[in-house]
Structure 1
């Protein structure tokens, strides 16, 4: 258990794409309008959770929990958090569990703050084309580990209200929404009472930062006014959309990015009731973040055309190439080669020290047989590689006209290097060049026979994408 209830480290992950308009006729959206984050066609809640957690979760000790909070897990009946656990290479003694529903993000935060868990809050939000809130929903992930460096919990209060606000039936893809004028009254009443109780328990009349997360825009605006919020959280939301279960975590991460030690934060999540947390920024808040700040990620996003977004989401049915679907992965080899598939582990040769990928019985460098079989396993997932060749595939079964496949050599750094052949991600195929620096990113390659095939791709690594 942490010495104090609170947050030891945090991170946020925003996809590389933003949608600013919903016109199919090419009309330009008005300047300064809202935008939503869009997960790429090969991303889902599992892959985004891995990207958010990979910077901060490595030290999660056995006996703790790894939680995935989402409204859109890629599997029903199977624990999606287990895939995240495997990709991060966590101790097998760390229990993995899913939390579902619109309130699950706040519950996951509570279990981090008071129970010492490690959690990822991730969601991919999809509406029907033309829905009034199409740009008001978005995709993102946030991650938190227990401790007290980033923030300390001063008080917490919650209220439950059974209300038909936002829901969908099993097998449905899009949420149904009741008239927000009715549900806003219930959520505002729950939110104000939860905030009042939390502030009273903390002994505070006011705080330095007010953060409100609610998919009901009318309720969120009313609660911000009632609690004296500055609107900084609303400004972030206008550029991301409401990111479902991830939203309270995303807005909290954006606030911690700018908070100074000792400042107080009221985080209020209004969904089927309300959850209020009063936090004090820790002495280490400035160094507790993993990865880039939220606003820096927002500034680096690429604009996405509406038609491309519809193809990615499967909302626009287009004719693909006459090419058979990729074969489905099988359970036995996935289990036997989990180190390579999920953690991108190569084998270091006992004879020459080079790394062979995937691990094999013969060293790819010196040719010694058996040298990598029992040798040290080296993970390449957090290392940077340089592209040495590029191929552009124009017959891909993915929802793109073409994709780039690269061969890249990993930096040696005294660890033996290694080579990877992989798809390029988050970059136009024509922009991929020999010499480009890239870093692995966990993605979903395809889905066949109801089995999701996860592996690592390579995305550009540099001043415009990530910190080196």
Structure 2
């Protein structure tokens, strides 16, 4: 396999919600203060990884790797990247693996550059309620695939330093943090050394753009000043918080969104040591982006009330409806129906062209069974609806949901095209990232991979529908 030397495509995903105040007494947040990106109650590192990768990773060939870097994997002892692999519908010859820890984001990016892997960097941060850095920890994902359209690697360098900076024991929900004044000195020294070596190896005195990501806010600020950064990366971080393993990828994506081809970028990630990368922005950077820019997503978020955030994270125990918990899924049917559950595949009838969902041996449009189609020389194939836009044809409000919301919308949507949307496949699903009362007949929505619920230690993933927003991509 030829060695890759750059980034072919990239994407970033920010949840639809932002938290600007963690006041329990209703005190208003200071205008212009920090905000943190907040994953919805049905999101986790797996679902955000799918959202980031779905625009760019479809062509990952067999023999390559799919990497999920996170500090908040939904399973211990089970490869969470395998769920991402299944939802993306990748070739079974693509190996899936997890990387853990705050440094894993930079390591995953290195595997994209050196081994040709496709990588998602995704994290959900859950600091203790009222912690000093609660608004400084956020949720996000970024994804990268190899190539040279977006950026070419000029040099990289790394330093390792064993330091008790930010950690969490197995079974704990919240990070422990050592005094940042002590750990900042260690991380700044590692970051400065790695950056100097990478710049020297690249033959540069100073890059055009400097990006610094660190688990220690004090270290990040010092490194930005030392390396003469413009502070644009700090402005993004102020609106998202530190997003854990996703942070170096998120900040790099934000720079690639605006950087001109030919410019140079120094990326420094200081966590348990440091990793430094020097890139030259590629000629195809504008077309290399999947989905919307980081700044477009930042401008399109809904402000979240603190009490609602606490319910979503399970940090506030609220009495729900008198309704039994949803049953847990079983392994055999999940495996047998993986095409429908993870890839939203329907069966397409070659006799009439209609799509039946869930897949069936009998066409829901013309009523012809699969055996009859085969006898006439036709066939029933599979088609995925996960990347199509659907039109809502019916809306119902559920007031007895077991989710941490008092009300959710259940919709029926058609995936057909044109004035007559019948025959394109139909989905009965929960709406997400939208107020239930705002869902209307005729609304355009797109599938989003989400966690429905967790029962008996099993996460039940499936597809919901979220309002569709057109993607703008510069030529």
> Does TM-score exceed 0.5, indicating one fold?
yes
1:296 aligned residue: 296
TM-score, normalization by structure 1: 0.98
Whether 2:452 is the aligned partner of 1:445: answer yes
Query: Post-superposition shift, 1:114?
Result: 1.4
Find the partner of 2:413 among 405, 408, 411. Answer: 408
Query: Post-superposition shift, 1:3?
Result: 6.7
Whether 2:399 is the aligned partner of 1:394: answer yes
Query: Post-superposition shift, 1:364?
Result: 1.1
Query: Post-superposition shift, 1:122?
Result: 0.1
**SS state at 1:9 partner:** strand
**SS state at 2:77 partner:** coil
Whether 2:380 is the aligned partner of 1:382: answer no
Q: Retained in 1: the 8 A contact 2:3–2:114?
A: no
Aligned pairs for 1:139-150 (under 5 A) are 139-150=139-150
Q: Distance in 2 between matches of 1:3 and 1:192?
A: 28
Q: Distance in 2 between matches of 1:99 and 1:3?
A: 21
Query: Post-superposition shift, 1:368?
Result: 1.4
Query: Post-superposition shift, 1:28?
Result: 1.7
Aligned pairs for 1:30-429 (under 5 A) are 30-370=30-370, 375-412=380-417, 416-429=423-436
Q: Distance in 2 between matches of 1:94 and 1:428?
A: 38
Query: Post-superposition shift, 1:2?
Result: 5.6
Provide the aligned C-alpha RMSD in A: 1.5
Query: Post-superposition shift, 1:353?
Result: 1.2
Find the partner of 1:455 among 459, 462, 474. Answer: 462
Deviations 1:83-111 (A, max 9, x none): 00000000111000000001000000000
Query: Post-superposition shift, 1:362?
Result: 1.7
**SS state at 2:136 partner:** coil
**SS state at 1:376 partner:** strand
Question: Number of residues paired by the alignment?
Answer: 466
Query: Post-superposition shift, 1:416?
Result: 4.7
Query: Post-superposition shift, 1:360?
Result: 1.1
Query: Post-superposition shift, 1:375?
Result: 1.0
TM-score, normalization by structure 2: 0.96
Query: Post-superposition shift, 1:183?
Result: 0.2
Deviations 1:43-73 (A, max 9, x none): 0000000000000000101000000000010
**SS state at 2:366 partner:** coil
Q: Distance in 1 between matches of 2:70 and 2:462?
A: 21
Q: Retained in 1: the 8 A contact 2:414–2:422?
A: no
Runs of 5+ unmatched residues, structure 1: none
Q: Distance in 2 between matches of 1:2 and 1:228?
A: 35
2:441 aligned residue: 434
The farther-off stretch of 369-378 and 243-252 is: 369-378
Q: Distance in 2 between matches of 1:4 and 1:76?
A: 31
Query: Post-superposition shift, 1:462?
Result: 3.3
Q: Distance in 2 between matches of 1:272 and 1:200?
A: 23
**SS state at 1:154 partner:** strand
Q: Retained in 2: the 8 A contact 1:2–1:148?
A: no
Q: Distance in 1 between matches of 2:85 and 2:128?
A: 32
Relative distance call for 1:58 and 1:346 in structure 2 (3 A) is same
Q: Retained in 2: the 8 A contact 1:340–1:346?
A: yes
Query: Post-superposition shift, 1:412?
Result: 3.2
Q: Distance in 1 between matches of 2:258 and 2:113?
A: 20
Deviations 1:385-415 (A, max 9, x none): 0000000000000000000000000133799
Q: Distance in 1 between matches of 2:441 and 2:422?
A: 23
Q: Retained in 2: the 8 A contact 1:269–1:275?
A: yes
Relative distance call for 1:2 and 1:296 in structure 2 (3 A) is farther
Q: Distance in 1 between matches of 2:188 and 2:89?
A: 42
Q: Retained in 1: the 8 A contact 2:55–2:290?
A: yes
Q: Distance in 2 between matches of 1:25 and 1:408?
A: 41
Q: Distance in 2 between matches of 1:117 and 1:290?
A: 17
